[in-house]
Amino acid sequence: MKILLTYYSRTRVTAGVAKAISQKLNCDVEEIKDTKDRSGAIKYLTSCIDALRETPTVIEPIDKDILEYDLVIVGSPVWAATMANPVLAYLTENKDKFKELAFFCTCSSSGYEKTIAKMEEITGKSGIAKLFMTKTDIDSSFDVKVDEFIENINEKNV
């Protein structure tokens, strides 16, 4: 099975989870890059508003051809109990190209169920595996949760 892992990360937490998953699966990786500057405290607030309003954002062109992959794993930070706008842009623009999807998200503490439900709603596909990582999970059960996610993917035998 050919797997692509695509993620967006503002402060590299989701990037860390993406790295662990992709190393264990030995899969291709694509980072979604936003054209909008989202660094700093003020941009944190404007990003919250963008997430709540689902304001469209322009992402940089993607390199990987989604049609070549049996499974795309998509990772996002939780923003205001939904996915980050760059991930919303990626999923919306490509929703007809995915064969199978799996999802993961990182957050401080809450909003992950709604985030993954929204990712499924946008694409019209249920994730074959789902992973969420709160800050506590990252500090205390990182490897256990990543391994469980990978097992779930492998069991599906896409």
**Which residues here bind ligand FMN, judged by CB under 6 A?**
9-15, 44, 47-48, 51, 77-81, 106-111
Nearer to ligand FMN, 25 or 107 (CB): 107
- In the complex, least distance from residue 100 CB atom to ligand FMN, rounded to whole angstroms: 23
Nearer to ligand FMN, 48 or 144 (CB): 48
Nearer to ligand FMN, 17 or 150 (CB): 17
Nearer to ligand FMN, 2 or 12 (CB): 12
- In the complex, least distance from residue 80 CB atom to ligand FMN, rounded to whole angstroms: 5
If you search the block for the tokens 């985030």, which residue do you land on?
Answer: 115
- In the complex, least distance from residue 51 CB atom to ligand FMN, rounded to whole angstroms: 6
CA 99 to chain centre: 16
- In the complex, least distance from residue 155 CB atom to ligand FMN, rounded to whole angstroms: 26
Phi, psi of 99 (to 5 degrees): -85, -60
